[in-house]
Structure 1
């Protein structure tokens, strides 16, 4: 598979940070660097990768808490999320204090994302889907060729993202899963923001919140 990835659970919330790279060029991106940056950089070095960018699915502290520092120290652009999460980025310091995280550096994304945009790592192109509901600006990164989707906190194995945070919307989340994730295909493996991987087909059949019969 020309698109490779490594899942690294970080922070006390065990958030699935993903190191994603092109097996041809060895160019890499890091998706949702919530923290534990030395561990992430060690994984990059051990694999001989060229880190090119930071991609964010959304701006909650456990996903984006390390983005500002990593961008500054490594000279990386921050790509995403959708502008709907600006208020979460503006409140990063308050999020740090609220959840007992180390102080988080503020940042400004170099590129906001919208539904239907594409992002590139080496020779691999992924499509961006805007999937609001957990946060207003949540996006998902989908590789049709690799049959993989990095979905942040939209969908989990057996669960869905919380919608009780500011800007959350349960109906929007359900609609995003059904209208934007399911068409990616039952055989697509998704990497959630927490917990184990699953396939969209398995969740479509068995997930109590969004299964076809739910």
Structure 2
């Protein structure tokens, strides 16, 4: 079962759970000489080492794929140009396959999410011609569920999180130049990228595009 993942702070560090500390401090003497730790100062996007590193990698030239050693073998995906070419079950199965095999390269997982996100956006834009954004999103969700008629609530929750992760990953790479930009990634996984906030992704896209001008 996949665990729920929150959006990542731009400094890339986990926030400690202070609830137990607060409870223990309630019973201590207010005049205690024990020094208290200062609250961690938020890091701005401009100073975030995580975002700086991601921007640097995505701003690099796309590496050429070599036929000899060091080559990453990637899945072949069908050409998706319209909604008729989108098969969510197949795209989901590719994500599950890529994530379940520890020998698979990180880029395979990212690329699998990218194409799931692309499939989602093709359907979303199709419905958006007629309906509102909320209605279009609901209709795409129904379209995805049609591909998994026998799933239980746990499987549905995992699929929903997978879809949300795919949308973020597609938005990032589509915004900075498309699928080929995935090859520039050296230090980030699909999970790491998906924990970035939406505003962080917009910030990275803007910085990468500005660097390429």
TM-score grouping bracket, smaller chain normalisation = under 0.3
**Which structure has greater helix proportion?**
2
TM-score scaled by length of structure 1? 0.24
Structure with more relative contact order (C-alpha pairs < 8 Å, separation 6 or more): 2
Greater Rg by CA = 2
**Which structure has greater strand proportion?**
1
